[in-house]
Amino acid sequence: MSRIVWAASLAVILVLGARILYPAAAPHLRSEHSRPAAHLHGQMVAIVEGGKLFHDPACTYLHGKARMVTAEEAARLGYTPCPRCMKSALEH
């Protein structure tokens, strides 16, 4: 029984020590497409119903029937900037 208690105590000490030495970092984004906008200008952008990104109206990655809204409105609706055509909105 004392070996089990000793092993469990050692495991707890190792885990706590690792948390102190290597604190949890901010989670990395899984995709460039999920970065929120850093700078929103008053420009008009294109969004597509069911899409996730807002685009410059001339973006070649814009597919479907687009609706024009301001960048601020697009962000408020949950859209994020296209990392190809709206790169300036992503720069910090």
> Under a CB-based contact definition with an 8 Å cutoff, are residues 51 and 31 in contact?
no
The residue range of the domain holding 15 is 2-90
Strands (E), the chain: 44-48, 53-54, 66-70, 80-81
Question: What sign has the CA pseudo-torsion 24, 29, 52, 91?
Answer: positive
pLDDT at 60: 93
- Number of domains composing the chain: 1
Number of separate helices (H) and strands (E) present in the chain: 3, 4
Using alpha carbons only, give the angle 60, 86, 72 rounded to the nearest 5 degrees: 120
- Measured distance CA(49)–CA(36) in Å, rounded: 19
For range 47-70, the mean pLDDT = 93
pTM comes to: 0.60
pLDDT at 3: 82
